[in-house]
Amino acid sequence: MTRVVNLRSDTVTRPTDAMRRAMANAEVGDDYYRDDPTVRALEEKAASVFGKEAAMLVFSATMANLVSVLAQTSRGHSVILEESSHIFNNEAGFLAAFGGVTPRTVRGVRGRMTPAQVRAAVFPRAVLHPQTRLLCLENTHNAAGGCCLSLQQVQGLCGTAVSLGLKVHLDGARIFNASVSLGVSVKELTAPADSVTVCLTKGLGCPVGALVLGRQDFIEDARRWRQVAGGGMRQGGVFAAAGLVALDTMVDRLAVDHANARRLAVLLAEAGLHVDPPPEEVETNIVFAEVPEELMDAAGFVSALGLKGVVVNAPRARRVRCITHHDVSADDIEFAGACVREVLAVGATRTSVS
Ligand SMILES: Cc1ncc(COP(=O)(O)O)c(C=O)c1O
């Protein structure tokens, strides 16, 4: 069988054997009536791990972000987000489509906004302006290259939000990656946020699901919005069972993905790609690299790499993203590095001949 190393995303993982067994044997009920014991067990466990009053299982991190924003804003309000955040760019415009809220974006450095930028992005209280209600943070930040917001940065931004009368939603789809990388518990990292999204299908390897966490009254509102979005579930215990396995077995091992990402960044840089953030600043499992124009055409690079069995997404401009995960080993990373070198060597020969 041809070897395939899929670096498109950490969402491409297959459920582990333990997850499949737990799913097959899950005790279930109808979650609409709140009598699915496995869903309740997952929600209670997550609430305890995060030190929040309550949690709710939803189908995806996008749905978790959606219901969190809908539960904390009304039509005509404004939300502050980092310019390259996932919610603003990659969630099909739900802020406008469902929320009727005005996004106010701020350009962060490596995805990090400063308290001063947040203060400046709040609309003045006047009849002319939308009222700013919510600050959205993303930790880790996908498009910035998996960068973490430190505990101090989270506390600074959330403190500023409180002083401005704003609620804070944290898109923590990869919050466990941040926690492992920083050596700070998810409880501490998310403590100042009013609502938190946690994805189960990324580094944690589940086939479906995400969690929303916050105060009990917020979760009750979010549950109603989940119903509005068609996200109510019945025997959800079938996939909640995988979530329980993930919380028990898939968190500490994220350090392996981070080490693999850093090694990959080194290999890509050695092969001649422009890695940004540079290898020594790769904090979690995401690596971005630009294919220099003089070396090769980026689309050609990606398709030649694919023919060798190393899969990455189509490039944006000249920028290619690689994400490490449970189904990629240290040996796979060496293989991927060797393939990149071969592809670029052929590309360079072609360029010098033409
Ligand atoms: C930071 C962040 N938030 C939310 C999401 C949405 O996740 P999903 O597409 O699984 O709903 C993603 C997906 O990549 C993400 O990277």
Contact 243/26 with Cβ under 8 angstroms? no
Distance CA 44, CA 87 (A): 26
Alpha-carbon distance of 26 to 36, in angstroms, equals 10
Burial of residue 349 (number of CB atoms within 10 Å: 0-12, 13-18, 19+): exposed
Q: Whose CA is nearest to atom 4 of ligand 1?
A: 61
Under-50 pLDDT residues of the chain: none
pLDDT at 315: 84
The whole-number pLDDT of residue 346 equals 81
Residue 11: count other Cβ atoms within 10 Å of its Cβ.
17
Dist. CA 343 → ligand 1 center (Å): 30
Instruction: Tell me the pLDDT tens digit for each residue of 68-86.
Output: 999 999 999 999 999 999 9
Query: Which of ligand 1's atoms lies nearest the C-alpha of 65?
Result: 4
The identity of residue 151, as a single letter, is: L
CA distances from 65 to 54, 62, 68, 136, 203 (A): 16, 5, 5, 9, 18
Task: Judge if the beta carbon of residue 61 lies within 6 A of ligand 1.
Answer: yes
Give pLDDT, residue 351: 59
Nearest CA to ligand 1 atom 7: 61
Ligand 1 neighbour 86 (Cβ under 6 A): yes
- The CA 222 to ligand 1 mean position distance, Å, reads 18
For residue 277, whether the previous peptide bond is cis, meaning omega lies within 30 degrees of 0, is yes
Q: How far is CA 324 from CA 5, 221, 284, 303, in A?
A: 10, 35, 9, 19
- Return the best residue to mutate from 8, 57, 62, 81 for the ligand 1 pocket (most ligand atoms within 8 A of CB): 62
Question: Is there a contact between 285 and 257 (Cβ–Cβ < 8 Å)?
Answer: yes
Give the residue among 279, 321, 317 at the shortest CA–CA distance from 298: 317
The reported pLDDT for the residue numbered 348 is: 66
Spacing, Cα 141 to ligand 1 middle (Å) = 10
Q: Which atom of ligand 1 is nearest to the CA of 201?
A: 10
Tokens encoding 327: 């189904």
CA of 86 to the centre of ligand 1 (A): 7
Rounded Cα gap, residues 246 and 253, in angstroms: 11
Res 128: pLDDT = 96
Task: State the CB neighbour count (10 A cutoff) for residue 120.
Answer: 11
Give DSSP secondary structure letters for 338-349: HHHHHHHHHHHH
Compute, in angstroms, the gap from residue 236 CA to the centroid of ligand 1. 20
* Sign of the CA dihedral running 225, 226, 231, 232: negative
Residue 172 alpha carbon to ligand 1 centre in Å: 9
Residue 169 Cβ inside 6 Å of ligand 1? The answer reads no
